């Protein structure tokens, strides 16, 4: 039987670092975790024999390629498969544009580079680790989704049908494009994995991280989450997804975000 492993990228701050601790608590101790960081910061990581940390910067494809080479040595595809990929790279360059007249080329390109191209390059380089049709997987593993799952953190503002306020050109563009990539990637995996792997997008809501710091003021307490709360809500959603929910974007309440 193919042995499962978990990918978490990045893993050093905010929701992603809370997710790292949650994964170590909530998933079987026999399942290894590959976590990524843009620089080596061993002091912030909990000690665990099943935790492997590699350098990866989504703005540098060569670093992604290098990380997959290390993953191949740790988890040979002949004996292992990527069962859970949580990909959370993201940037919001302040202030978001309120008008088309405020759009600046360098801001748009950097936002797309991190929020869209970065996750797409992760898909490109780590997709070979996902299970194919012929892979023999164990049955239900307690503490993991029943099928391999790739999750990309998106945002509700990436929805074109739910856009009622306008503005935020760079960020909206990047997340709309990411949602399209999620759908495309899922359609491809549906053919290659025969139901063994799915792809979804995820909207975590507003979380107390550096990305959203300028928007905490005035947020009601029940809609402003700590990183630990946001990680738990993400986990509650992903652990209960079935294959009929593939290729879509889901929010922290488990409700679909419209395209």
pLDDT tens digit at each of 259 positions of the chain: 999 999 999 999 999 999 999 999 999 999 999 999 998 666 678 889 999 999 999 999 999 999 999 999 999 999 999 999 999 999 999 899 999 999 999 999 999 999 999 999 999 999 999 999 999 998 888 899 999 999 999 999 999 999 999 999 999 999 999 999 999 999 999 999 989 999 999 999 999 887 777 777 777 777 789 999 999 999 999 999 999 999 999 999 999 999 9
Check: CB of residue 182 under 8 Å from CB of residue 201: yes
Q: Smallest Cα–Cα separation from 152: which of 198, 194, 191, 108? A: 198
Distance, CA of 112 to CA of 166 (rounded, Å): 18
Q: ∠ at Cα 201 (246, 149), nearest 5°?
A: 55
Q: Where are the domains of the chain?
A: 3-252
Distance, CA of 2 to CA of 154 (rounded, Å): 30
Q: ∠ at Cα 68 (63, 69), nearest 5°?
A: 95
Residue 43 class from Cβ within 10 Å (0-12 exposed, 13-18 middle, 19+ buried)?
Answer: exposed
Q: Smallest Cα–Cα separation from 88: which of 183, 248, 254, 227? A: 227
Which tokens sit at 254?
Answer: 């488990």
Check: CB of residue 49 under 8 Å from CB of residue 29: no
**Does residue 232 sit in helix, strand or coil?**
helix
N-terminal to C-terminal alpha carbon distance within the chain:
37
Q: What is the pLDDT of residue 42?
A: 61
User: How would you classify the pairing of strands 256-257 and 249-251?
Assistant: antiparallel
Q: What is the pLDDT of residue 40?
A: 65
Cross-strand bridge partners of residue 78:
none
**Does residue 116 sit in helix, strand or coil?**
helix
CATH 3.40.50.720 fits 3-252, yes or no: yes
Check: CB of residue 93 under 8 Å from CB of residue 111: yes
Check: CB of residue 171 under 8 Å from CB of residue 156: no
């Amino acid at each position: 039987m193919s042995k499962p492993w978990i990918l978490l990228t990045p893993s050093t701050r905010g929701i992603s670092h809370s997710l790292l601790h949650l994964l170590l608590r909530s998933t079987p101790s026999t399942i290894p975790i590959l976590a990524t960081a843009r620089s080596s910061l061993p002091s912030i990581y909990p000690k665990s024999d099943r935790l492997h940390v590699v350098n990866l910067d989504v703005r540098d494809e060569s670093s992604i390629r290098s990380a997959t080479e290390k993953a191949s040595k740790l988890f040979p595809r002949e004996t292992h498969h990527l069962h859970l990929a949580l990909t959370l790279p993201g940037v919001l360059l302040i202030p978001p544009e309120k008008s088309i007249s405020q759009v600046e080329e360098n801001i748009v390109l950097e936002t797309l580079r991190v929020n869209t191209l970065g996750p797409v390059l992760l898909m490109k380089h780590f997709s070979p680790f996902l299970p194919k049709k012929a892979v023999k997987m164990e049955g239900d593993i307690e503490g993991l989704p029943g099928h391999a799952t790739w999750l990309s953190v998106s945002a509700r503002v990436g929805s074109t049908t739910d856009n009622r306020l306008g503005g935020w050109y760079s960020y909206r563009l990047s997340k709309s494009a990411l949602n399209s990539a999620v759908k495309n990637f899922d359609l491809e995996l549906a053919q290659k994995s025969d139901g063994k792997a799915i792809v979804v997008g995820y909207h975590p809501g507003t979380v107390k991280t550096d990305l959203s710091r300028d928007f905490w003021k005035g947020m009601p307490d029940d809609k402003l989450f700590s990183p630990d709360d946001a990680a738990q809500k993400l986990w509650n959603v992903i652990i209960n997804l079935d294959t009929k929910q593939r290729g879509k974007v889901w929010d922290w309440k488990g409700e679909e975000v419209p395209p």
